[in-house]
Structure 1
């Protein structure tokens, strides 16, 4: 091999046997896994937000008569909105408290099997991902999704007049 065709890593390895010639860089498999997980997380967040929005819309439609009755005895639109948003915030919190442990169990079940199936060893930064701050952020995200999904239908229900509610029955 001529001096011209030797790569710098091979030349360094030939000069000193203590130098490793394996390039250290981002692992393509790890990058693919992280990218896929990020895309799936984003899609699941959108689906969860749409599911909450759908639940609130259906809940509001089912409770129209009750809301009309509450408004007829003096409940203000702001109170109706607060009541609807609070009920969905409780639902979002309950979903977080149930979903986080189930997600951790699913992760612990699926990820090692996926790594074994493709015969790769995952580094610790990809397997030790459950930190208290991240879990608190996930719980807060469930609450925020519940509240944001409830705002529009709750405001719409609060703007209805008593006559509109009772007329549509």
Structure 2
């Protein structure tokens, strides 16, 4: 198993055979997979120790069974191997989880900001449009239109525009995601597997598309409520 940077610098691909030297031993190894690891700056290769007789492991990674205390296990192992110059300890909490948490929080914050800006834009447009149409709405109210029907009259065209925006935005967002993510991976010297790129299921895409309708409706609720509460006589006198 070799990292992406190894494949790029050696102009090799999965299935090729490369000659690797460890200490004084040389072996021809076949590349069977690509490791997506950016933790080290060196071109580390993951291979079977049986290929090199002189290879001596410097550490062992042990996964305890469910219900077994890792700390207690490490203490018992350390009591045995410390006199021989070894040591045993549990893995320290990875800082990667904190980084992922921060990145997720930033993504959520950015999403909320974009939704807020979009909602305010809808609010501004619908307020102006409703004020321009208030006389027409007054005529409709005069011939018997109920407040609920008035709100529906205001929200209907906004919902249609939100649906069109969702249908246009979702494919554009997926295309942008498919372009940006590989570029980000190459910037840190690694490729990205399909589970990182193919993250949207059909149901999620449908919900994202409906998000345009939800944002449009939420942004138009205030002016629609104002139009529904407006008195008929006041609306008719408005020019």
Name which of 192, 196, 201 aligns with 1:126. 196
Cα 1:33–1:111 change in 2 (3 A) is farther
2:211 is aligned to: 141
Q: TM-score, normalised by structure 1?
A: 0.74
* Cα deviation digits, residues 62-94 of structure 1 (max 9, x gap): 211221222222222221111112222212111
Higher relative contact order at CA 8 Å, sep ≥6: structure 1 or structure 2?
1
**Matched-pair contact (CA < 8 Å) for 1:60–1:157:** yes
2:163 is aligned to: 93
**Matched-pair contact (CA < 8 Å) for 2:135–2:238:** no
* Cα deviation digits, residues 31-81 of structure 1 (max 9, x gap): 255444333222212222222222221221121122122222222222111
5+ residue gaps, structure 2: 1-56, 63-90
Q: Report the number of matched residues.
A: 154
* Cα deviation digits, residues 115-167 of structure 1 (max 9, x gap): 32343444544322121121122122222222222222111111112321233
Q: Tell me, in whole angstroms, the C-alpha distance in 1 between the residues paired with 2:174 and 2:115.
A: 16
1:164 is aligned to: 234
1:104 is aligned to: 174
* Cα deviation digits, residues 95-132 of structure 1 (max 9, x gap): 11111111112222222223323434445443221211
Name which of 36, 39, 43 aligns with 2:113. 43
Q: Tell me, in whole angstroms, the C-alpha distance in 1 between the residues paired with 2:195 and 2:188.
A: 18
**Matched-pair contact (CA < 8 Å) for 2:165–2:212:** yes
Q: Tell me, in whole angstroms, the C-alpha distance in 1 between the residues paired with 2:160 and 2:147.
A: 20
Q: Give 1 or 2 for the bigger CA radius of gyration.
A: 2
**Matched-pair contact (CA < 8 Å) for 1:67–1:80:** yes
5+ residue gaps, structure 1: 1-12
Q: TM-score, normalised by structure 2?
A: 0.55
2:69 is aligned to: none
2:141 is aligned to: 71
Q: Tell me, in whole angstroms, the C-alpha distance in 2 between the residues paired with 1:65 and 1:141.
A: 31
Q: CA RMSD in A?
A: 3.0
2:15 is aligned to: none
Instruction: Name the SS for the 2:211 alignment partner.
Output: helix
Cα 1:109–1:57 change in 2 (3 A) is same
Greater share of helix: 1
